[in-house]
Amino acid sequence: MSDCLFCRLIAGEIPAAIVHQDDTLVAFKDVNPQAPLHVLIVPRKHIASLNDLSTDDDGLVGSMIRMAAALARDGGYHERGYRTVFNTNREAGQSVFHIHLHLLAGRALTWPPG
Ligand code: 5GP
Ligand code: ZN
């Protein structure tokens, strides 16, 4: 059994509110939502952080961003706006070391972020 939380979630060992999945990606609701829409878009492939990406992953990361845009559109947020975030390592607050793209929408999001 993997000791990675998101690998276990993708394998169905941990329950999740999955909103979309395909051969390479799984998208599910964040358990501690920070906005009315807060979804995490995760590759099935285990990659610990953006620091571990290779050129082989360029298409995968592109598909994550396009899935975020598609889910924002599905939710009706594409014109109001939405935010996409990758946190990397300690000072950015990364707590799960399997890359995930946060999609946040449904409220006015402040800038700069905290
Ligand atoms: P990070 O802090 O690494 O950028 O984001 C990790 C996110 O995963 C957090 O927003 C946290 O709420 C979410 N999270 C942590 N554990 C679980 C879980 O078991 N299920 C779901 N759906 N989200 C989780
Ligand atoms: Zn993993």
Q: Domain ranges in the chain?
A: 5-105
In 2-100, the DSSP E strands lie at 18-21, 25-29, 37-43, 82-85
Q: What is the mean pLDDT of residues 36-52?
A: 98
* Buried-state track 74-103, b at ≥16 Cβ within 10 A, e below 16: ebebeeeebbeebbeeeeeebeebbbbbbb
Coil, helix or strand at residue 41? strand
Ligand nearest to the backbone CA of 14: 1
Q: What is the CATH number of domain 5-105?
A: 3.30.428.10
Average pLDDT, the chain: 97
Q: Which of 78, 98, 100, 102 is catalytic?
A: 100
Give me the percent of the chain exceeding a pLDDT of 90. 97
Q: What is the pTM of this model?
A: 0.98
- Token representation of residue 92: 């950015």
CA of 63 to the centre of ligand 1 (A): 20
The pLDDT tens digits for 23-38 are: 999 999 999 999 999 9
* 38: annotated active-site residue: no
Q: Ligand 1, closest atom to CA 17?
A: 22
CA of 47 to the centre of ligand 2 (A): 7
CB of 67 closer than 8 Å to CB of 100:
no
pLDDT band at residue 1 using 50, 70 and 90 as cut-offs: low
